[in-house]
Chains A and B, each alone.
Chain A
């Protein structure tokens, strides 16, 4: 099936979503996704950051779709034409979504443990407005310990449901879900029940913001001062492939290996994540490659040439602001 996104055509398998088709092209035309997670069935469609405009339905039925659609949950059709950043309507809608997401998410990046790895921070930087127009009190919550290793701070939660799907699909008990409606919704365990499952730690990895954090790592360091190293071990529960985060000689955090879109390649067990924090536990593979745009690349900057997509004049025109920003940086 041929699908054209922002003027670039790609061949994809039937059943591919628009988002995944865009990911096959890569570069700036990939819509951002806060709630979609390719490893979790049923995720996506909720945060509305990946909205795109379908200007031509398919070769058979060329009518455009009347509304913007969530690219993560819309399948491609043969001959479909999609606009992402080349559509001002999409850019405007995305700006609106970012504004909505930031209404109840505090801008406490300087003290948040997720800073540097936060998808919402990136999204706000790339698509947000400079100032909020919201003048009312934000909702606040007390921190909750779910188990001895994970802390939930609902104040920062953007209700992407990823952790709920993880708990449902990766672990064998339903650990937590959503309480209440609308902007009163909150993630909670059943009457503060502890999350004690071998794979529960994965909820930390899937959280796009700093709502679910690793208590063994929390506030021990800023992520850009750490050194990520790929490693593996022989584990009887999971694949054992992880990223170790070093501070000097010490392993201060273990996470799953994440791809360019921040999704883990394979989920790891709690033993690997929380209990194996000595270099001797692991077979070191080598330093992890970090994108030069990431703050984690500080001090180990590696030059990668700009993707081919960035030579597309239409895209450069559409995304002028970001290109200027990147050139300046």
Chain B
């Protein structure tokens, strides 16, 4: 059994209410943190080795220490709850069932950063979560954990929940800040980074929901204790939202370093592939990361077991590896159509591109149209090279990482499943009648063995 830090009390009835949460030891970290100095808290977070859980994996403590602290200028903490990557649904789960954990983390983090006003920014569609969090904030305020003079320590904090307009791009931190300021959610050009000029031009830290929630066990147990969980530079636990053709899809808290094979096949977690089918491919960290065939997700190119950690998943770069990303783990069984799936992802990124910079604005649409053509049996053999070239033209040339996020799934799908794309061109009628399956093209498991 892996250790649970965030979801330990998730099954306790009424854990979404203040009283039950408090009876289970909730808000202890606030009491402890307010007796520490902000520098000590930042130091604990640094010691814990916590890395940003939103996808990029940047060390949280280091991010906090970059925050500019000019005299007389307010500082802000913004929690990024704009979770909308296909395959990722862990933050929503956490906010729905255990909202006080996030609020507790927000209080401790805001105190550490010297912020007196903090925001939780949510995707516009998440109105139930907005209401849940607002109720929880009201409860915490009534009990003296928010507002003026928290627990008599003289520290003031106002916490607001702000739903956005419902755009994926608003999850990019600078676009989020624009949206929070009431403008169109277009990413800003960096530098300056938010740590210097963020919300309303003031120093700002933007952290993911899970990162902020993880501050609670770090303060409760100490950074060193937290760092003992996990493997190497991937410390602590991580929420994984497992979806796709799995027996038991859902949100799981794992200790980083768990073998991927165990995560997919053990009964404690996903329980294997649904209907006894074989695993074909996995998108390990949300739709923006490269897709890997079964052989490469279970073993690295050096024939070592692949682990659920930042380093192990990215072992081999993008040629034979992927990324942990936000933890949106999507598994595909042998009957899944990679072409259709890639088209679906491309459709999403085309729809969500903000339209500021030309490679992303035009390139995402182009890729979608070519993939649509392939999926519906009108493709050409040259389309695969075209897609790879277009994705290269987008990758790295855009203002924000959405361009990369759109390019990687397409490039990796063609890299690993080119024969399937070719099959769609040569067997158009079968492809359009949805009569696809592993039997038609090279078995990915076999490719792994021969790789």
Contacts and interface: CB of A to CB of B under 8 A. Distances in A.
A70 B358 CA distance: 13
Given A100-B359, A133-B386, A158-B358, A182 B397 contact: no
Nearest to A74: B191
Interface stretch (B8-16, B36-44, B363-371): B363-371
A99 B392 CA distance: 13
A93 B361 contact: no
A183 B362 contact: yes
Interface in B141-199: 167, 169, 184, 189
A177 to B, nearest CB: 8
Interface string B316-339: 000000000000000000000000
Contact of B355 (A134, A136, A182): A182
A46 interface: yes
Q: Chain B interface mostly helix, strand, loop or mixed?
A: helix
Q: Chain A interface mostly helix, strand, loop or mixed?
A: loop
B355 A48 contact: no
Contact of A178 (B355, B363, B397, B399): B355
Interface string A157-196: 0110100000000000000011011111100000000000
A181 B393 contact: no
A240 interface: no
A133 B369 CA distance: 13
B314 interface: no
A68 interface: yes
A96 interface: yes
Contact of A183 (B350, B393, B398, B399): B350
Interface string B339-375: 0000000000011111111110111111001000000
A204 interface: no
B201 interface: no
Nearest to B396: A67
A92 to B, nearest CB: 8
Contacts of A99: 393
A182 B352 contact: yes
B369 A96 contact: no
Nearest to B350: A182
Contacts of B184: 177-178
Contacts of A182: 350-355, 361, 364-365
A68 B392 CA distance: 13
A46 B397 contact: no
Contact of B362 (A51, A103, A181): A103
Contact of A101 (B354, B358, B396): B358
Interface in A47-61: 47-49, 51
B355 A104 contact: no
Contacts of A44: 189
A181 B350 CA distance: 9
A45 B189 contact: yes
A96 B366 contact: no
Nearest to A139: B365
A97 interface: yes
B355 A184 contact: yes
Given A70-B189, A97-B397, A100-B393, A47 B352 contact: no
Given A70-B189, A133-B386, A180 B355 contact: yes
A73 interface: yes
5 contacts: A49-B358, A100-B361, A183-B353, A183-B361, A185-B361
